[in-house]
Amino acid sequence: MSQAISRRAVARGALWAAPVVAATATIPAYAASTSIYGISSSSSGGYRLDGSGCMSSLDVTNTQAAPGQASGIAVIYPDGQGETQSVDITNYEVVIYLPANLVDSFDVTSGNFTYAGAFNPDTPTITRNDGTTVSTAGLEAYVFRYNGTLTTQTQLDDGALDGEPGAFFTASATGFGYCESNLPVDSFTTVGATITTADGFTAYRDVTYDTSLRPAVM
């Protein structure tokens, strides 16, 4: 992705936001396991178009969430299944699937994350947390990787979820090559991490959820 366009005066903007994965939605994917732990996360972002309808900025973040939904990442222990306990989170990655050639790269502007590059999806579809699939055709995966280990508490699945503050990040794209005439409407995000609990349980958990582009209130 080497094409870049010059910046012009910003004329319009839009935001995209991801519905947070309901904690209970993570459980069926692991029905074969004796564990009832799951993870929940959310992300959002915004872009602007210049006066000619081409993209002039794109930012992503996981520090925002709708009321009652976790930003960053939260480890879920459904209500009635036991007491909360300490949990370590390692191998934490956020992979945002966007149209190929949308941007060249990303610079992480806050948070203990590294932008690990982009890759072409190696499967034609990816399964969402609700069991349905989404096509990866024409998309590219942008990887953000946490540096180190997070230690937090599991949370009961009984309402508002507080994401682990150390899991927050923001990033800004560089090198734009996209114009409004073929601007996408949909995208999606996969979040994954290894969780290790105080009672000795260790497993990798991941969830995939849709994101959508929508007009901003300017």
Lowest mean pLDDT among 20-34, 84-98, 105-119, 135-149: 20-34
pLDDT at 68 over 90: no
151 Cβ contact partners less than 8 Å away, ≥ 6 residues apart = 86, 87, 88, 89
Tell which wins on pLDDT, 196 or 43.
196
Cβ pair 114, 108 in contact under 8 A = yes
- State the Rg of the chain over Cα: 18
Confidence of residue 212 (pLDDT cuts 50, 70, 90): low
CA angle 65, 168, 175 (to 5 degrees): 95
What stretch of H or E contains 99?
strand 86-99
Q: Are strands 55-61 and 170-176 parallel, antiparallel or unpaired?
A: antiparallel
**Mean pLDDT, rounded, for 11-25:** 40
pLDDT at 18 over 50: no
pLDDT at 93 over 80: yes
Q: Which of 38, 190, 174, 76 is nearest to 126 (CA)?
A: 190
Query: Residue 193 corresponds to which tokens in the numbers above?
Result: 């991490």
123, amino acid identity: T
* 146 alpha-carbon distance from chain centroid: 12
SS3 66: coil
pLDDT at 167 over 70: yes
Predicted local distance difference test score (pLDDT) of residue 13: 41
**Mean pLDDT, rounded, for 41-66:** 80
Q: What is the pLDDT of residues 141-158, one digit of tens each?
A: 999 999 999 999 998 876
pTM, 2 dp: 0.81
218, amino acid identity: M
User: Would you put residue 119 in left (φ > 0), alpha (ψ -120 to 50) or beta?
Assistant: beta
Q: Are strands 73-76 and 38-41 parallel, antiparallel or unpaired?
A: antiparallel
**Mean pLDDT, rounded, for 203-208:** 90
Phi first, then psi: give them for residue 14, nearest 5 degrees: -155, 160
